[in-house]
Each structure stands twice: as C-alpha cells, then as structure tokens.
Chains A and B, each alone.
Chain A
Amino acid sequence: MPILTVFASFFSTTSEYYELLKNTFLIKYILNSAIILTGVLALTFLFGVLSAYFVSFYNFPGVNFFKWALILSFAVPAYIYAYSLTAFFENFGTLFGLLTWLFGEGEYNKFIPKFDGMFGAILSMSFSLFGYVYVLTRASFYHQSNNLIEVSKNLGFSAKESFFKIILPSARPAIVAGLSLVAMECLSDFGTVSFFSVSTLTTGIYNSWLSFDDLNTANQLSFVLLLIILTLFFIENYSRGGAKYHQSSQGFKKIPKIDLNGKKALIVTIFCSFLFFISFIFPTSQMAYWTFKFPKYFQDTNLWSLNFNTLILVFLASLVLVSFSFLINFGNRISKSKFLDNLSLFSISGYAIPGVILAVAFITFFSWLSDFLTDFFGFISIKKIFIGSVIGLILAYFIRFYSLAFNGIKSSYLKMNQSIDESSYLLGYSKFRTFRKIHFPYLKNSIFLISILIAIEIIKELPITLILRPFNFETFATKAYAYASQDLLEAAALPSLFLIFWAGLLIFFTSKHILSEK
C-alpha cells in the first residue's frame, strides 16, 4: 500500500518546490546519503566481522561476556548515540569537564575533536548498527563446519590464509545480509541526520512535508529513495537464500576455539572492550551522567506518562502484530493457498520502507481515502481516526514491522513438519483444536521472543511516531528528539536513558535467541 501510494504520486503533478529542489538539492541529497552509506557500510563491516571472528574462533579473557555484551549496542538508537557524541565532545562538554577536573583549567576546547555533521552521523550509525553484521556473521561462523577449517589446515593454509580463503568467503551471504540490513536502516535513518543537520533524502522528505506542507514532493523524493532501498532489499533477499544453503551442513562439528595468550589476547580483549565501551557504555553513561547532573528535568518531564505511553504503545502494537501474523501464518498453513502466500509476500516488503516514507504515504493515502469517501458517499471524515491517533500509529507500525513478525513466526512454523498437523487431524483433532493443542504450545516461546524483538524495534522507532502520533502524545523517542532539536541535549538525556534501559532489558531477555538463530 505505501509503495503504491508513492508510485502513484510520482506521476502526479509536480509542484514548483519540487522543480526547485530537483535543480538544486536533489543531487546533494543523494550524494550525502551515498557518502553516509559508504562510510557506515565500511565501518560496520570492519567492526562487525572482526568482532564476530574473534568471539567465534578464539578464547581470550571475557570472551563469553563480549559474546552477548556486543549485542547491547542494539539498545542505543543512532540518534541517541549522536546526542551522546555531541554532548561529550562539544565545547564545554563532558570531555572538557573531565579534563578540567583532571588537569585544572585550560584551553581544551581547541584540542577536543568535534564529531558533528557528516562524520558524526557516520560514527553514530556505525556504532549503533554494527550489531546486525556482528550477529549474522557470528551465526554463520558458528554454523560453519569445523571440517572446512580442518581441510584448509590439512591443505597447508596458515590461519590467516584460511580466514581469507575459506572462512570469510563462506560467511559471505551472512555478511551481505547483515550489511544490507545496515544499509536499509542507514538510508531510512531520520533522527541522526536531522540532528546533525545533514541534508539527505529522509530529511528532505520530512522537511518538504513539514516546512513546505508539500506532500507531493515528499512522495516524489520517497520514490527515489524507495528505488535505492528496494534494490538493496532484493540483494538482501537473494543473499539470504544462499545463506540457508550454506548453513545446512551435515557434518556439523562445533569448532574448538583457539586459546590466545599474551600480546594477542591483550589486543583482542582491548578491541572488544573498546567496541563494547564505545557502542554501549559510552552513550549510556553520558546519558546517565547528564540525567543526574541536571535533576531539574526530572520535574519537567512527565516520567509517568512517558513510560506509560511508550510501554502501552509497544505492548499494543506487538500484540496486534504478533496475533495477526500468527493467525495469517496459521491460515496459510491450513489452506496452502498460493494466493494468500503471495499476498503475504507482497505485504512483508514493508520493512524495507523507511519510516519517514511510510508515515508520509500513510497520510497521503488516508487523506485521499477520506476525501473520496466524503465526496462520494457523504461519510464523515475518517482522517481523524487514522491520522494523529493511536490507532493510526499502531496501523503504521503494523505495516512497517509486519515482515519481522510474519517471517519470525513463519520460520518457527517451518520447523514444524506438515505431517505433524496431519497426524493430529488423523487422530481426530479438528484444525482449531490442532492449533490449540499443537501449534500454540509448541510456538509460544518463539512467539514471545518475536514480540520482544518487535518491541525493541518499536521503542527505538522515531519518524513514524513523530509524524503520526496524536497531538501532545510523547514517547521516549519523540521526547528525546524534541528536546534535542531545541538544543536541550541535557533534557534529552532522561528519556534517552529510559529508552536504552527498556530496550537493553528486552535485549537481555532475548540475547540467547538473538545469538543463536537470527
């Protein structure tokens, strides 16, 4: 649906603003997006693959801790990372304070590097997104048969040669899949680039909608971005198909880890500690520091309603998403109809669509629908029901995260042989009773896990919430964004900290699952 809306409006009349934009900014937007994308991909590849390699193949102090600690970076959205980065390095920021406290007064501002603009955006996104590459690559390393490595040793390859000639190429589909996820997230990012005032396609879409009230231009920009993202989406899907094949190794043997000693162990430990520190401890402690340094925002921020809003929203959205996906999956399974299957395939492309585009398309669609219904059938306007309401918000989340829920449940369902259902029918159990007695008890754990994964995504989600939320309805994400865009970073610390806390807590509960399967 959002795709269709965007495509339809691309061919509708272009506004003057768009003409202006096309001549001046469009190239710049695309160029900026491309630079950020390249930087983020390079850094996430480096951090993700290296860390996955170290924890999969070597024993060094703290390896079991780092194994899951590194996924905590998922709890910190890129825009919050950006706030911390700025807060720490800005003039008279945290680092300045720290140096003053340590060495006394000084002209430190001159020497402190400034991470802002494009460079800041690249760093923020890399440290918050490298987890995707890490998790997928690690899973692929983990499932790699030891036989491969033994064969390569047997053929006389050194450890280094084995890594580049055997291990890395065979993990390639997983790495590509991880990188495409990073790319999609990076291109859809709104919070970070908007905070650093880098003009990219997403901020262009948002601004043309908000500042110029020009839905058409927003949709047309979306079209460009969508084309790029859909290409990536297909690459990801394609390489994932390969990953499946790569993992079905029959002679699976757990890889014995190599013990690292002395200098090497030290380097690897330092690398992982650094990564963990930079990606999680740093933003968290920066946010915590400010939260306690400026306690007056405790009173300013209505913590109760913020917590309540966010959690109830997340809970409702996950519930709706998971129950619906479960039902559709069940329907698909019992009907075996091709039509339903194709329809589901079509609707799961939602995850590839950036939140900004989705929100704008959502508004376009419902405005059109509402006008249409009012004009032709004399309905009262339905705009209010869907735009700027919790229902609309949940519906938009639904479109965005449906693929996550649907595919998660589908893959759990696939582990259950069709003949299991058939056995149950043959033993006299109806389809409904089979669902209750067999499917539900068997799938309830994975469904719980999927709900949590979705909850994590929704907590971090910014643009959809920002655009579609009801008036004065705030979540951690929107509150932090609101303060940050008013240059009140100190105030943004509190909601950010809460966001990291909740997301981190949920990740903690699902870490086992994320590490083993995703």
Chain B
Amino acid sequence: MSINFLEIKNTTFVASKLNKVLDFNLTIKNEGDIICLLGPSGVGKTTILRSIAGLQKIPKGSISLKGKVISSEKKHIEPEKRNIALSFQDNSLFPHYSVLDNINFGAKRNRNSKYNFDLKELIKILHLEGLENKFPHQVSAGEAQRVSLARSLMSKPDLLLLDEPFSNIDESLKVELQLNIKKILKNKKITTIMVTHDSYEAFYMADYCGIILNQGLQQYDEPYKIHHEPKSLDVAKFLNRGVFVNVKVVESDCAVHSLIHPELGEIKGKLVNNFPAGSDVKLLLQPEDLIHNDQSKLKLEVVDRKFRGTNFIYTLKTKNNDLIPVFVHSHHIHQHEVEEKFGIKTPIYIDHLVCF
C-alpha cells in the first residue's frame, strides 16, 4: 500500500474560543493534487492552513506529510522545518526588501528539489514585470498577492497552501492567472491546498473540494459531485443558488424515479439519496433545472428578472409562494415582463434529484 501524501486525522483546529473545526479528516492520496477548501467567512479555513503550516498547534488529532507526523497532540515540528509554503491573504511581504528580493527570499532553500522555476518566466506569468525593483508599499494589493505567491513558489515547497490567492485581483486577470497557475501546479506536480469562498474558482482549480460548514468538513469530493450530489441540506444551501420545494416521492425503485409537486406536476430523474415511495421530501431546484417553453400549458407568474450577460434569471412564483429561479439564454428573443406568465416545459426531467 502506498503512503498517502497528506493525512489529517480526527483533528481539532482552534481559531478562537468560539470558533473551532472539530474532528476533521482529510486525505490527499497523490502528490500533485489540488484541493480546494470552501466555506463561509470565519468558519476556520485559514486556521486549518495555518495549522498545517505549523504556525498553530493542534489540540487533538494528527497531521502527517509523506507518512511522517508533523503535528499531533504531542509533536509539533516548527514551521521552518516543514517545507510547507503558505501564501497569506493579506500583505505579508518584507517591507524593507524589494519585490525581487522578496521573491528570492526563500529561493536558496531546497536546491535539490525535484522541480525548479525560472525566475524570469515566473515573473512574466504572474504579470510582475517592471515591479522587480519596487518596494512593497509601492505596489497594489493584487500585485502584492502575486509577489507573495511567487515567493512561495520559489521556495519549492513540498506542499503549497494558498489562502484566497485571487481575492484582490481583478476579474479579467483572475481568469488568466487561475489558468496559468493551475498549469504550473500540474506541470511541476505541486500538491496544493487552496482556501476560497468562490465556488466557481474552487470547481475550476480543484481535483477535490472540501466543504467546511458548522465546525466540520461536511463533504470531500470531486467538484462535479459536490455540485450535483451534495450530501446535506446545508451543503446544498451553501453552494447553490437554487431553492427547496416540498414534493412527494411517487416511485423510487425503478431506474427512473419520480416525484410529484402539486403545481409543477410530475418530476422525473434519479434520486441522489433514496427515499421510499410516499415520503414527503424537499427537492432542490436549481436555475438550470427547469426549461422554458412558451407553448407549455404549465405557466407561472414572473416576479423578477435579472439580466446577467450570458443569461437571464427569471424568478417565478408558485401558488404556495415558492420562488423558483430559471435560467434563460440571453439570446432568447422575447422577454417576459414582471407579472406576465412564463411557460415551463413538461414533463420536468432533472438528472440529479437532490432531496432531503
């Protein structure tokens, strides 16, 4: 049996007296995997990174890297001896060194590392050209964040931890950076744990995502499954823009399951979590689930319309006051005004029926 790259077992992370993450288990099997931790602000994501890096001790559990325990109740290897880099969310550049000196600060470490970086190329990829001789107080927050990232990469760590690495970077550059950084990490096989609250960013970057809610790791899965097969009501609520409606399970034994909603009628698909026929459950309806059709007999009232560039999101109201979001392609010819009726294609078919 091969050794897991990183193993966190039954660990408690303490951010403050009130804020803890309990009984945390996470395994990174392969070197080079990218893991994203998602969760609302203040849930303790940063604390987890800090504890892995060794900046904080853990009161319970154990963390091991490449089969060697680096943190446990009894043992604590100092951060400088771990070879784990952490790129902070806020500015942590050394104020009296230039950008270039900052980037090179940890470069002397790990001369025999299995990978290496070309400094000039890294500067180019991160769009830091021309800033080399500036000092930290002369660069913007987004630039500082990129310098910090470059500095972490140049130290050639075994494990790279990124705390909201793109939070200060503007939208247009963000997409390009996400692409380039993912490419670098994958090329050099740098195992990375990244913390973010942007689920799109997580879904794009990650091989695996972890959802942290209510003091614990709620789900650890591939991004696709996280989105389509959330394991709990809370995860679904945290990630999705959808709503929950009350339905009754009609058929749950055959290949195609079916549910009934008093107004929407029959809804077919595959139940992610199985329930016996006759159960009253809540079904997650996401904007992409219902399909618009002007010819349909099923019509709901429009209460709101948001133009989002690539699409519209209509909000429809049912008789018992559920507000259901529906995507419509933005090239759709005619627009429905508020208070108009809006047709939904029937019968409704949803691939993953997420019910609780």
A residues within 8 Å of B by Cβ? 416-417, 419-420, 422-431, 438, 441-442
Cβ-defined contact, A428 with B95, below 8 A: no
Are A417 and B90 CB-contacts (below 8 A) given A423-B148, A428-B155?
yes
**With the chains together, A430 CA to B50 CA distance in Å?**
17
Cβ-defined contact, A427 with B106, below 8 A: yes
B96 within 8 A of A: yes
Cβ-defined contact, A419 with B88, below 8 A: yes
Closest to A427 in B: B106
Beyond the given A417-B92, A423-B86, A426-B86, please list 6 additional residue pairs across the A-B interface where CB-CB is below 8 A. A419-B91, A422-B50, A423-B94, A425-B80, A427-B105, A428-B155
Cβ-defined contact, A423 with B90, below 8 A: no
Minimal beta-carbon separation of B89 from chain A (angstroms): 9
Per-residue interface assignment for chain B, residues 94 to 117, with 1 indicating a CB less than 8 Å from any chain A CB and 0 otherwise: 111000000001100100000000
Minimal beta-carbon separation of A462 from chain B (angstroms): 39
Are A428 and B151 CB-contacts (below 8 A) given A417-B91, A442-B95?
no
Closest to B136 in A: A420
**With the chains together, A420 CA to B82 CA distance in Å?**
17
**With the chains together, A420 CA to B155 CA distance in Å?**
15
Minimal beta-carbon separation of B265 from chain A (angstroms): 56
B84 within 8 A of A: yes
Residues of chain B within 8 A (CB-CB) of A423 are 86, 88, 92-94, 148, 151
Which residues of B (124-170) have their CB < 8 Å from a CB of A? 148, 151-152, 155
Listed by A's residue number, 12 A-B pairs whose Cβ atoms lie within 8 Å are A417-B91, A417-B92, A419-B90, A425-B78, A426-B53, A426-B55, A426-B155, A427-B85, A427-B106, A428-B106, A430-B78, A442-B95
**With the chains together, A417 CA to B91 CA distance in Å?**
8
**With the chains together, A118 CA to B303 CA distance in Å?**
83
Residues of chain A within 8 A (CB-CB) of B152 are 426
**With the chains together, A431 CA to B90 CA distance in Å?**
21
Cβ-defined contact, A438 with B94, below 8 A: yes
Minimal beta-carbon separation of A453 from chain B (angstroms): 22
B51 within 8 A of A: no
Cβ-defined contact, A425 with B79, below 8 A: yes
Residues of chain B within 8 A (CB-CB) of A425 are 54-55, 78-80
Give the bracket for the number of chain B residues in contact with chain A: 20 to 34
B218 within 8 A of A: no
Cβ-defined contact, B96 with A442, below 8 A: yes
Which residues of B (36-68) have their CB < 8 Å from a CB of A? 50, 53-55
Residues of chain B within 8 A (CB-CB) of A430 are 78, 80
Closest to B108 in A: A428
B252 within 8 A of A: no
**With the chains together, A441 CA to B105 CA distance in Å?**
14
Minimal beta-carbon separation of B2 from chain A (angstroms): 27
For the complex of A and B, 7 pairs with smallest distance between CB atoms: A427-B106, A419-B92, A425-B79, A428-B109, A423-B92, A425-B80, A419-B88
B83 within 8 A of A: yes
Residues of chain B within 8 A (CB-CB) of A428 are 80-81, 83, 106, 109, 155
Closest to A423 in B: B92
Closest to A417 in B: B92
A-B contact count (CB 8 A): 67
Closest to A442 in B: B96
Residues of chain B within 8 A (CB-CB) of A417 are 90-92
**With the chains together, A430 CA to B90 CA distance in Å?**
22
Residues of chain A within 8 A (CB-CB) of B96 are 441-442
Are A429 and B80 CB-contacts (below 8 A) given A417-B90, A423-B151?
yes
Closest to B90 in A: A419
Cβ-defined contact, B86 with A422, below 8 A: yes
**With the chains together, A432 CA to B100 CA distance in Å?**
23
Residues of chain A within 8 A (CB-CB) of B109 are 427-428
**With the chains together, A429 CA to B78 CA distance in Å?**
10
Are A422 and B95 CB-contacts (below 8 A) given A427-B106, A428-B106?
no
Cβ-defined contact, A422 with B80, below 8 A: no
**With the chains together, A400 CA to B317 CA distance in Å?**
75
Residues of chain A within 8 A (CB-CB) of B92 are 417, 419-420, 422-423
**With the chains together, A416 CA to B53 CA distance in Å?**
20
Residues of chain B within 8 A (CB-CB) of A438 are 94
Per-residue interface assignment for chain B, residues 3 to 47, with 1 indicating a CB less than 8 Å from any chain A CB and 0 otherwise: 000000000000000000000000000000000000000000000
Complex partner residue of A422 from B82, B88, B105, CB under 8 angstroms: B88
Minimal beta-carbon separation of A428 from chain B (angstroms): 4
Residues of chain A within 8 A (CB-CB) of B85 are 426-427
Cβ-defined contact, A426 with B90, below 8 A: no
Residues of chain A within 8 A (CB-CB) of B94 are 420, 423-424, 438, 442
**With the chains together, A428 CA to B54 CA distance in Å?**
12
**With the chains together, A426 CA to B54 CA distance in Å?**
9
Minimal beta-carbon separation of A173 from chain B (angstroms): 27
Closest to B163 in A: A419
**With the chains together, A275 CA to B336 CA distance in Å?**
78
Residues of chain A within 8 A (CB-CB) of B53 are 422, 426
Residues of chain A within 8 A (CB-CB) of B93 are 420, 423
Minimal beta-carbon separation of B151 from chain A (angstroms): 7
Complex partner residue of A420 from B54, B83, B86, B95, CB under 8 angstroms: B95
**With the chains together, A419 CA to B91 CA distance in Å?**
8
Closest to A445 in B: B96
Query: Which of A420, A425, A427, A429 has its CB near the most chain B CB atoms (within 10 A)?
Result: A427
Minimal beta-carbon separation of A104 from chain B (angstroms): 66
Minimal beta-carbon separation of B177 from chain A (angstroms): 20
Closest to A418 in B: B92
Minimal beta-carbon separation of A445 from chain B (angstroms): 9
Closest to B55 in A: A422
Closest to A429 in B: B80
Minimal beta-carbon separation of A416 from chain B (angstroms): 7
Closest to B84 in A: A426
Residues of chain A within 8 A (CB-CB) of B88 are 419, 422-423
Residues of chain B within 8 A (CB-CB) of A429 are 80, 106
Residues of chain B within 8 A (CB-CB) of A416 are 95
Minimal beta-carbon separation of B324 from chain A (angstroms): 42
Residues of chain B within 8 A (CB-CB) of A431 are 80
**With the chains together, A441 CA to B95 CA distance in Å?**
10
Minimal beta-carbon separation of A439 from chain B (angstroms): 10
**With the chains together, A423 CA to B102 CA distance in Å?**
10
Which residues of B (271-297) have their CB < 8 Å from a CB of A? none
**With the chains together, A423 CA to B93 CA distance in Å?**
8
Closest to B79 in A: A425
**With the chains together, A422 CA to B55 CA distance in Å?**
7
Cβ-defined contact, B91 with A422, below 8 A: no
Minimal beta-carbon separation of B74 from chain A (angstroms): 20
Residues of chain A within 8 A (CB-CB) of B84 are 426
Closest to A419 in B: B92
**With the chains together, A429 CA to B82 CA distance in Å?**
11
